[in-house]
Chains A and B, each alone.
Chain A
Amino acid sequence: MNHLGPELREDELAGLLAAGSPDALSDAYRRWSPLVHTIALRSLRDPHDAEDVTQQVFVSAWNGRHTLRPDQGSLVAWLVGITKHRIADVRTQRYRAHRNLTAVAAHTTTHASSPHDEECAERLLVAHELERMGDPRGTVLRMAFIEDRPHEEIATQLGLPLGTVKSHVRRGLIHLRTRLKEVEDVSS
């Protein structure tokens, strides 16, 4: 697999992919296939289906690359949006198969996934964004959002002014919301 280099920014990679660079596709795969595959695996709970979805997402991304608008959203959100589409497709197929089975068997056992799964992609995207956010913002956000620690305590522990901590929290939250909104725009 070719690498375009770690120095390439996400929007630059998106531009190359949109222009049809096979290297950009392999680089996007290297960066985001764990995210895509994990979303698929957690949503569908079937390794075979998860592999199929991962494959379909990157093939779809390649086929649809001329619809990618790097100035209108991030590549990662675009891929997560496509992942949600493909997962929905698998669920629809499963539902149909299940409905046909139950129609024959004349009994209904609910096989449907829990509603919690609906947000699996979004939660993992947030975890991914938090993980790759530079420090100190990444650490500040993990302490504030996940560990639910007061801003004063974070400021003391990291030796940062309180105002800086608050500003990281605000901007980090806005960044995450922007990413989720982009996913929504792709999935709708």
Chain B
Amino acid sequence: MSHPDEELLADLALGADLEVSPQARDHVSGCPVCQSTVQDLRRTLALAAHAESPPTWSQPPDRVWSRIEDAVGAQPTTPPGAASEAPDPTAPAPVTTLESRRTPRSSRRVLPWAAGMAAAGLAIGLLGGRALWHDPPPAPATTIAQAQLDTLDTKRPRGEASVVRSGSGINLKISTTAPLEAGSGFLEVWLINKDGKRMVSIGVLRSGEAELLPITQALIDQGYVIVDVSREAFDNKPQHSGDSLVRGTLRI
């Protein structure tokens, strides 16, 4: 069958399994994509359970907005060469009309660059170029740490974990020599702190494939260097099951 509706996956995440047909449950138990969605929904639920209600927001002081105005106002305009990034010039430019209509109403000083923008008639991407999160430019992936993953009981090597830095960030790469058995549940990857007291869940491992899971440098810096893959049941318990299949310590 095709992937069940997301609302059914939400029911599974909420622990309302009986609302879901046995066929759909069968599909989910064998489908890494659906399992990963259910896992995401459970994490969302765990986050929501700890959300403040009502939250206390801290307003930034007024000087922050003034500094933003100064910073964006001081920028140079784009040289004509950046026109390849420009939107279709035949498209309507609502910005201009909005701006000219609203400026008189503004009680604060007019942004120095607003006039220029209106005159140009088009909002050409000022600093034209790369996507914000592609900065710095993509570099070849480099491995910054590695660990051999051994079974806990017999210490047999079953694969390898490595921390790989690429243009898009840092990932933990897990590859196993043979698929790990998820049984009726799923495989979850953890980073355990070398203090042995703290751990964080990094993501779900689809069995049989090399997997890249995003992590942060801060985790490694804080001592989360022990890679652990556990077998988890669909039991609505976000914590580690205690059933570790393989483990290894990253050497940096």
Contact with A along B187-200 (1 / 0, CB 8 A): 00000010000101
- Main SS of the interface on chain A? helix
With A1-B108, A59-B68, A60-B132 in contact, is A170–B49 under 8 Å at CB?
no
Residues of A within 8 A of B51 (CB): 123-124, 126-127, 130, 145-146
User: When the two chains form the complex, which single residue of B64, B131, B200 contacts A33, counting CB atoms closer than 8 Å?
Assistant: B64
User: When the two chains form the complex, which single residue of B19, B52, B128 contacts A127, counting CB atoms closer than 8 Å?
Assistant: B52
Contact of B218 with A173 in the complex, beta carbons under 8 Å: no
Residues of B within 8 A of A181 (CB): 40
Contact of A51 with B64 in the complex, beta carbons under 8 Å: yes
User: When the two chains form the complex, which single residue of A4, A19, A118 contacts B200, counting CB atoms closer than 8 Å?
Assistant: A118
Residues of B within 8 A of A155 (CB): none
With A118-B200, A128-B55, A170-B14 in contact, is A188–B48 under 8 Å at CB?
no
B18 within 8 A of A: no
Contact of B58 with A38 in the complex, beta carbons under 8 Å: yes
Taking CB atoms and an 8 Å cut-off, the chain A residues in 84-126 that contact chain B are 85, 88, 91-92, 95, 110, 112-113, 115, 118-119, 122-124, 126
Contact of B58 with A41 in the complex, beta carbons under 8 Å: yes
A75, B214: Cα distance in complex, Å: 22
A96, B125: Cα distance in complex, Å: 34
Contact of B47 with A122 in the complex, beta carbons under 8 Å: yes
B224 within 8 A of A: yes
Contact of B102 with A2 in the complex, beta carbons under 8 Å: yes
Contact of A20 with B124 in the complex, beta carbons under 8 Å: yes
Contact with B along A125-153 (1 / 0, CB 8 A): 01110110000000001100110100000
Q: Known pairs A16-B98, A88-B217. 19 more at Cβ < 8 A?
A: A2-B105, A19-B95, A20-B95, A21-B95, A21-B123, A50-B58, A51-B63, A60-B132, A81-B133, A110-B222, A112-B218, A118-B216, A123-B52, A128-B55, A130-B51, A131-B55, A170-B11, A180-B43, A187-B133
**Which 10 A-B residue pairs are closest in the complex by CB-CB distance?**
A20-B123, A64-B132, A66-B125, A34-B57, A145-B48, A67-B131, A127-B55, A127-B51, A37-B60, A112-B222
